[in-house]
C-alpha cells in the first residue's frame, strides 16, 4: 500500500512523559540572574510568581517528566495526537523529489500549539489553589490557549493584550472573552507601570515586553494570583515536547528518517517542542542526525543579528536576566502580521544551541512568508498562521534546493497554527498593500 497522507497515532499513544533537552546538553546554558542582585535565581525568588511545580520543572535536570493523567486527558480535547501529514500536492506543484511532512498543530481548538503548555500550567496552578492566572498576549494565540485551559481546570484568567492588537485585531479578544477570560489592553490603567506609560504617551501602542511587565505587576499584586508565560522558559519548552515526541513515533511508523527539521521562532517554544526530542537523540548519538533550521522574521532578527548576552524578558526590567540572543528589551519590532514572532529575545537553551552551531538560524521576510502561505493554502487547502508561514517558506526553499540537486530529501516542519484569524494580513498581501519589513519577496517557480 502507498504511504498514507496522514500518519496517525491512537489516543493511547499520547506521550506519557515530556522530554527535557537540558539533560542532554553538553554544556548547561548560563543560569537566569536576579534582576536586582545579579545572583543566580533561586526557587524562592520565583515563589509567588509561578506555581511551585512549574518552578521545580524550570530548574530540573531530569530528562523525562511524567505527564499527569488529567493533562493527558485534556490533550484529547486538543485533538492530540495530531496527524503528521505529507504535503503531496505542494510537492507535485514544486516538482521536487523531496518529501515534505508537516505536523498539524493548527488542529488545536484554540488554533495553535500554545495550548500544549497552557493546559499543564493551568492544571498545576489549579492543584495549588491559585484563583486567577495572569498573562500577556500579543496577537492573541497564547491568551486564547490560556483562557481555555483556565476554564477547563476551573481557574480565573486575566489577559493583558498588546493595545494595538486589542484595538485592531478584535476576534481573538472575543474568543478569549467567550472562554471566560478578562481581557485588558496593555498599557492600561490597572498597573502603575501602565499608568506611567500612558501619562507620557496616551496613545502608546504597547508591545509584548510592556504587556509582560503589566501582567507580572498585576500577578504579584495578590497572593491568590500567579503569572503564566507562553514561551521562552524551560518548563514551557518541555511541555511542548509532546509535539516532537509524537513526530518521532510517526516517522518510526513509516520508517522514514527526516533530513531537515524546520520550525518558526518567536520565543522558541514552538521550535523546541517540535525539534528538541529529535535534537536530543542527535546529541546522544554524538551529533549525527538531521539539520535543524530555526526561522525568524527579518523584522525581528534576534538569532541572526542580535547579541548573545544577558537581558531582561520585559520592558520594565522586572524579570530575571536571561542569557539569550536578544535585540534589547526596549526593542519594538515593526508591526508585522506574525504577531507571535515579535519578541526581542529567544529561549536560553535555543540561544545556546544556535551559538554552538547545532541549530541553523534563518531570517525570512514578511512578503516571502505570505507568498509561501498562499501557495500552501492553494495546494494543501490549509491557511497557515503568518508565524507558521515562515516555516512553510523555509521548507519550500529546501524542497527547491533538493530539486536543483536532484536529492530526495525528507523535510519536516511544524504547522504551528492556522491563519483564519489573520486574513487581514493575507488580504494586504494579495492586494499588494504590505508595507515595511516586507522582505525580499522571492518568487516561487511553478
Ligand X SMILES: Cc1ncc(COP(=O)(O)O)c(C=O)c1O
The 10 Å CB-count burial string (b at 16+, else e) for 171-184 is: ebbebbeebebebb
State in angstroms the smallest separation of the CB of 64 from ligand X. 21
Judged by CB, which is closer to ligand X: 264, or 321?
264
Residue nearest to ligand X (CB): 340
Neighbours of 379 (CB within 10 A): 16
Query: Distance (Å, rounded) from C-alpha 43 to C-alpha 231?
Result: 19
What does 10-22 look like in DSSP terms, one character per residue? -GGGS-SEEE-GG
Q: Which residues contribute to the site for ligand X (CB under 6 A)? A: 112, 141-142, 231, 264-271, 340-341, 385, 387-388, 416-417
* Helix count and strand count (H, E) for the chain: 17, 15
Residue 114 backbone dihedrals phi, psi, to 5 degrees: -60, -30
Judged by CB, which is closer to ligand X: 91, or 422?
422
The DSSP bridge partners found for residue 261 are: 292, 412
CB-based contact 105:415 (threshold 8 Å): yes
Residue 299 backbone dihedrals phi, psi, to 5 degrees: -75, -15
Neighbours of 162 (CB within 10 A): 28
State in angstroms the smallest separation of the CB of 290 from ligand X. 19
Q: Taking the alpha carbons of 181, 187, 192, 195 in that order, is the dihedral positive or negative?
A: negative
Judged by CB, which is closer to ligand X: 295, or 402?
295
Judged by CB, which is closer to ligand X: 122, or 264?
264
Judged by CB, which is closer to ligand X: 157, or 402?
157
How far apart, in Å, do the first and last CA atoms of the chain sit?
A: 29
State in angstroms the smallest separation of the CB of 270 from ligand X. 4
State in angstroms the smallest separation of the CB of 372 from ligand X. 14
State in angstroms the smallest separation of the CB of 417 from ligand X. 3
State in angstroms the smallest separation of the CB of 277 from ligand X. 16
Judged by CB, which is closer to ligand X: 265, or 398?
265
State in angstroms the smallest separation of the CB of 390 from ligand X. 8
Judged by CB, which is closer to ligand X: 108, or 125?
108
Cell numbers representing residue 46 in the block = 520565583
DSSP E strands in 114-273: the ranges are 132-137, 156-162, 182-186, 225-227, 260-264
State in angstroms the smallest separation of the CB of 50 from ligand X. 17
The 10 Å CB-count burial string (b at 16+, else e) for 412-434 is: bbbbbbbbebbeebbebbeeeeb
State in angstroms the smallest separation of the CB of 201 from ligand X. 25
Judged by CB, which is closer to ligand X: 268, or 348?
268
Judged by CB, which is closer to ligand X: 205, or 313?
313
The two beta strands, 6-7 and 84-86, are antiparallel
Amino acid at each position: 500500500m502507498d504511504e498514507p497522507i496522514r500518519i496517525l497515532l491512537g489516543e493511547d499513544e499520547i506521550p506519557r512523559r515530556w522530554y527535557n533537552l537540558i539533560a542532554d546538553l553538553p554544556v548547561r546554558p548560563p543560569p537566569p540572574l536576579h534582576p536586582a542582585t545579579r545572583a543566580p535565581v533561586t526557587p524562592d525568588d520565583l515563589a509567588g510568581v509561578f506555581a511551585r511545580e512549574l518552578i521545580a520543572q524550570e530548574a530540573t535536570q531530569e530528562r523525562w517528566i511524567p505527564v499527569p493523567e488529567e493533562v493527558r486527558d485534556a490533550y484529547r480535547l486538543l485533538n492530540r495526537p495530531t496527524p503528521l501529514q505529507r504535503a503531496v500536492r505542494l510537492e507535485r506543484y514544486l516538482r521536487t523529489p523531496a518529501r515534505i511532512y508537516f505536523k498539524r498543530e493548527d488542529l488545536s481548538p484554540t488554533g495553535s500549539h500554545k495550548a500544549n503548555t497552557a493546559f499543564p500550567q493551568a492544571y498545576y496552578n489549579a492543584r495549588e489553589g491559585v484563583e486567577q492566572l495572569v498573562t500577556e498576549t500579543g496577537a492573541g494565540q497564547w491568551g486564547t490557549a490560556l483562557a481555555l485551559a483556565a476554564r477547563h481546570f476551573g481557574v480565573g484568567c486575566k489577559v493583558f493584550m498588546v493595545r494595538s492588537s486589542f484595538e485592531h485585531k478584535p476576534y481573538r479578544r472575543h474568543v478569549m472573552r467567550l472562554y471566560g477570560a478578562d481581557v485588558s489592553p496593555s498599557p492600561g490603567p490597572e498597573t502603575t507601570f501602565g499608568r506611567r506609560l500612558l501619562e507620557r504617551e496616551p496613545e502608546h501602542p504597547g508591545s509584548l515586553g510592556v504587556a509582560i511587565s503589566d501582567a507580572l505587576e498585576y500577578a504579584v499584586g495578590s497572593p491568590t494570583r500567579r503569572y503564566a508565560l507562553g514561551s521562552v522558559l524551560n518548563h514551557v519548552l518541555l511541555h511542548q515536547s509532546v509535539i516532537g515526541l509524537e513526530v518521532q513515533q510517526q516517522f518510526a511508523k513509516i520508517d522514514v528518517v527526516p533530513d531537515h527539521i524546520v520550525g518558526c521562532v518567536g520565543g522558541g517554544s514552538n521550535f523546541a517542542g517540535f525539534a528538541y526530542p529529535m535534537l536530543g537523540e542527535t546529541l546522544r548519538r554524538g551529533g549525527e542526525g538531521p539539520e535543524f533550521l530555526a526561522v525568524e522574521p527579518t523584522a525581528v532578527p534576534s538569532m541572526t543579528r542580535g547579541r548573545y548576552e544577558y537581558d531582561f524578558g520585559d520592558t520594565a526590567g522586572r524579570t530575571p536576566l536571561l542569557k539569550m540572543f536578544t535585540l534589547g528589551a526596549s526593542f519594538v519590532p515593526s508591526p508585522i502580521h506574525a504577531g507571535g514572532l515579535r519578541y526581542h529575545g529567544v529561549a536560553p537553551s535555543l540561544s545556546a544551541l544556535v551559538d554552538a552551531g547545532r541549530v541553523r538560524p534563518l531570517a525570512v521576510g514578511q512578503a516571502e512568508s505570505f507568498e509561501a502561505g498562499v501557495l500552501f493554502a492553494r495546494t494543501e487547502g490549509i491557511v497557515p498562521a503568518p508565524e507558521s508561514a515562515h516555516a512553510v517558506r523555509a521548507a519550500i526553499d529546501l524542497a527547491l534546493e533538493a530539486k536543483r540537486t536532484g536529492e530526495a530529501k525528507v523535510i519536516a516542519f511544524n504547522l504551528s497554527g492556522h491563519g483564519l484569524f489573520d486574513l487581514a494580513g493575507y488580504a494586504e498581501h494579495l492586494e499588494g498593500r504590505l508595507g515595511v519589513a516586507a522582505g525580499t519577496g522571492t518568487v516561487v517557480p511553478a
